[in-house]
Copies of this chain bind each other. A is one copy, B any other.
Amino acid sequence: MSDDLAARLREQGLRLTPQRELILRAVEELRHATPDEVLAHVRSQVSSVNASTVYRTLEVLEELGLVRHTHLSDRAPTYHSTREHEHVHVVCRGCHSVRSYDPALVQSLVAALGEDGFSVDVGHLAIFGTCADCSAAAASPEPT
């Protein structure tokens, strides 16, 4: 698993450190996590890991193509592993639920922009809106 990590780091003349392994593993385990959440998770296993290390490492991992980030809220970005299948995020602003969809969802969009020579970063895509439950809730303020 972090074999991949070691290899890619070496290619770039970078070093494999326990922090980098832990942070990558945290992203993989948490599925969708903000830098803060990653930090908390890593700290729950090994004390003393610093926030700046998390930021710096996430940046490195993203450059290596091992993680990706997207913006699932107006606040901090969330990171996920690229070992998962690429997916599109659909976020409900009412209940903050996040659902993942197959990239096929946006294929016509990708094709349309592709004709203009624009290549869409599907993994970064976050689609905001309101889910069925929350629409219903908004319609009837006092549910039975």
**Does A46 touch B at the CB level, under 8 Å?**
no
**Does A54 touch B at the CB level, under 8 Å?**
no
**Does A1 touch B at the CB level, under 8 Å?**
no
Chain A: interface residue total (CB-CB under 8 A): 28
A residues engaging B (CB < 8 A)? Answer: 71, 74, 77, 90, 92-93, 105-106, 108-109, 112-113, 116-121, 124-125, 127-133, 135
Please tell me how many copies of the chain the complex holds: 2
Indicate if the CB atoms of B77 and A74 lie closer than 8 Å.
yes
Partner of A105, one of B93, B112, B124, B127: B112
Given A71-B71, A71-B74, A135-B119, A129 and B106 contact (CB-CB distance below 8 Å):
no
